[in-house]
Amino acid sequence: MADAEMEASLKPIIDQKSLKWIFVGGKGGVGKTTTSCSLAVQMAKARKSVLLISTDPAHNLSDAFGMKFGKDARPVTGVEGLAAMEIDPNGSINDLISAGGDDAQEAMQGLGGVGSMFQDMAFSIPGVDEAMSFAEVLKQVKGMEYEVVIFDTAPTGHTLRFLQFPTVLEKALDKLSQLSKQFGGMINNLVSARGGLPNGQSFDDVLKRMEELQSTIGDVNKQFKNADLTTFIPVMIPEFLSLYETERMIQELGNYEIDTHAIVVNQLLFPKKDNPCEQCNARRKMQKKYLEQIDDLYGEDFNVVKMPLLVNEVRGVESITKFSEMLIKPYEAPQ
Amino acid sequence: MVSVLLLVFLLQLAIHLVNTFGAKAVNELVFTITISPEKEVTANSSKDADESATLRREVVRLNREMKAVSAQDDFAKWARIRREHDKAKDKYDKQSASLTSFRTTFDRLITAARWLGTQGLQFFCNAYFSKEAMFWLPQGWVPSHVEWVLGFPRAPQGAVSINIWSMACASVIAMVSEGARAGLTLREGRVREGANKGEKLKMEGGGVGGKKEL
């Protein structure tokens, strides 16, 4: 079934003009950041504006490009039409609270035990902190109107939870708003007896904001499940654990109805035939074994892109640009 | 019309029986009596059960097959079996959940109905007949303050109220059943319940007719 095999490059993804969200994920250390940066560079050539977001708390974008990025999108020097930003999924919820300033803290204290109880309750929903920051970022990104947004995600487990959030949070918010509809009057009385919320906010305002957040999330959820708008690119190395995780991830993505049709196999060794290095040859043999399995399992439905392990580190714009070309044109091994 | 006296007695008997045999046993009994004869439901549920068993066998088979294949040497094959296995397991879980949920709903319904038929009915009767005399005591049999207690809470003086009558019925039923159980135990000569179930009773004197020396 040679004609059923898919093209061994990411060109179809770059040519898929409808794409708006691209996720890049995999186990730690397989080259997610390098791949996502390379993809972003190639994307920037084909589109007007591309945003690269790192949600990995380790933040490697700054290192990869050799320049400092922060919470706001900043253009990458040397690559036209590409901007990058780094967000910390765990940190930003605390930012959100402290952004409310003393008023928010006071309001919580004003409610006494009830306030802190609500806070605890809200945070005990699994993944709610990350989801909130995620929603916040998405809201920002929506306003900025980039043609494509590429996410460099944290290692596997995190990623899957991240993508699950819209569903989880939608459910949680649904419950909360239902609750507040039933007990809204009571809470309102409680609050006004305490002298009202700070800044003259009413409880209804808070509710309205919550509903807004919910509709944003619902919208995002719909977009993520649309194969025309969103795709997920797993990155792996030809070793058992990576392969295993990737298989698991692809299955789970299927459960969440998130499209994935391209895989990047990274760090392949291509030693020369008359190479005396025993270690290299042994590793090549092992990699070959797994590559055969990968082709067998995914060859028909996925673009399997094979990337070589270079002799130098891929750092800096130039180096990344050079590396990124191999995403489009399959690498030819030297004989 | 059934006499209220008899009705209360039967009610207490029913409550006692439910308490002795256990609510679960009653539910089980009702389940087998009502659900089994209805052919359609039986056919349906037994089909479900069959399907569930088939699915379970399938899951076990796939699991065994998966273990037989080395994931490291033959990942593609292993992954394919695993996908199938996961799918089958998912289906099986859903199926068994639906079976259990049907049973749970049924149990809840029966429990509610049973409660209404026993305790609920008792409360209702106690309220409805509270001012009526179950029967009258001959005048002067008991002093007037005892008469007041027997008529508690609302029956006229000199009569026995429904509450007192149902309490009396319950006590008698409890005593008779205790007696019957004790009789059975004695007859068998073995402990019938508790931690030392099945042990021989420790009875002095040995045989029934044996005379005890004092």
**Any idea what DSSP says for residue A6?**
P
Mean pLDDT of chain B, nearest integer: 83
Q: Tell me which of B120 and A116 has the higher pLDDT.
A: B120
SS3 content of chain A, % helix, strand, coil (to 5): 55, 15, 30
A297 contact B CB<8A:
yes
When mean pLDDT is compared across A44-48, B23-27, B86-90, B164-168, the lowest value belongs to B23-27
Res A35 pLDDT > 90: yes
Res B177 pLDDT > 90: yes
Instruction: Give SS3 for A308.
Output: strand
What is the per-residue pLDDT for B174? 95
Token pair of B78, please?
Answer: 């292993």
Res B167 pLDDT > 50: yes
Res A179 pLDDT > 70: yes
| pLDDT mean over B10-18 | 90
| pLDDT mean over B142-162 | 87
Res A141 pLDDT > 80: no
A255 contact B CB<8A:
no
What is the per-residue pLDDT for B117? 87
When mean pLDDT is compared across A145-149, A208-212, A224-228, the lowest value belongs to A208-212
Catalytic residue selected from A56, A88, A129, A152: A56
Q: Which amino acid is at A297?
A: L
What CATH number has the domain spanning A10-89+229-327?
3.40.50.300
What is the per-residue pLDDT for A266? 92
**CA A188 – CA A171 distance, rounded (Å):** 24
Mean pLDDT of chain A, nearest integer: 78
**CA A317 – CA A164 distance, rounded (Å):** 33
**CA A165 – CA A187 distance, rounded (Å):** 28
| pLDDT mean over B149-163 | 87
* Residue A258 pLDDT class (50, 70, 90 cuts): confident
pTM above 0.90, yes or no: no
What is the per-residue pLDDT for A103? 52
Chain A nearest-CA distance from B156, in A, is 49
* Cβ-nearest to A293 among B75, B83, B86: B75
* Cβ-nearest to A290 among B75, B82, B83: B75
* Residue A255 pLDDT class (50, 70, 90 cuts): confident
- Under 8 Å between Cβ of A327 and A9: yes
What is the per-residue pLDDT for A60? 80
Give the pLDDT confidence of A49-65 residue by residue, as tens digits.
999 988 777 778 888 89
- Under 8 Å between Cβ of B16 and B173: yes
Interface test with A, best of B69, B70, B72 (most A CBs within 10 A): B72
What percentage of chain A reaches a pLDDT higher than 70? 70
What is the per-residue pLDDT for B195? 76
**Any idea what DSSP says for residue A181?**
H
CB within 8 Å of A315: residues ≥ 6 apart: A63, A64, A66
Tell me which chain A residue has its CA closest to the CA of residue B77.
A297
What is the per-residue pLDDT for A197? 58
**CA A141 – CA A145 distance, rounded (Å):** 7
What is the per-residue pLDDT for B51? 83
* Beta-strand relationship, A21-25 and A74-75: unpaired
Q: Quick check: ipTM above 0.85? A: no
Res B12 pLDDT > 60: yes
What is the per-residue pLDDT for A101? 46
What is the per-residue pLDDT for A291? 92
What is the per-residue pLDDT for A118? 58
A56 in catalytic set: yes
Q: Tell me which of A222 and A284 has the higher pLDDT.
A: A284
**CA B120 – CA B11 distance, rounded (Å):** 10
Res B166 pLDDT > 80: yes
Residues of B near A (Cβ–Cβ under 8 Å) read 71-76, 79-80, 82-83, 86
Q: What are phi and psi of A34, to 5 degrees?
A: -60, -45
How many angstroms separate the Cα of B77 from the Cα of each of A291, A294, A306, B68, B71? 14, 11, 21, 11, 8
Was A200 annotated as part of a binding site? no
A123 contact B CB<8A:
no
How many angstroms separate the Cα of A330 from the Cα of each of A150, B153, B168? 22, 95, 94
What is the per-residue pLDDT for A222? 81
**Before B153, cis peptide (omega within 30)?**
yes
What is the per-residue pLDDT for A211? 72
Tell me which chain A residue has its CA closest to the CA of residue B72.
A240
Res A76 pLDDT > 60: yes
**CA A324 – CA B7 distance, rounded (Å):** 89
Domain boundaries defined on chain A = 10-89+229-327, 101-145+166-223
Give the pLDDT confidence of B23-63 residue by residue, as tens digits.
788 888 877 777 655 544 555 566 777 888 889 999 999 99
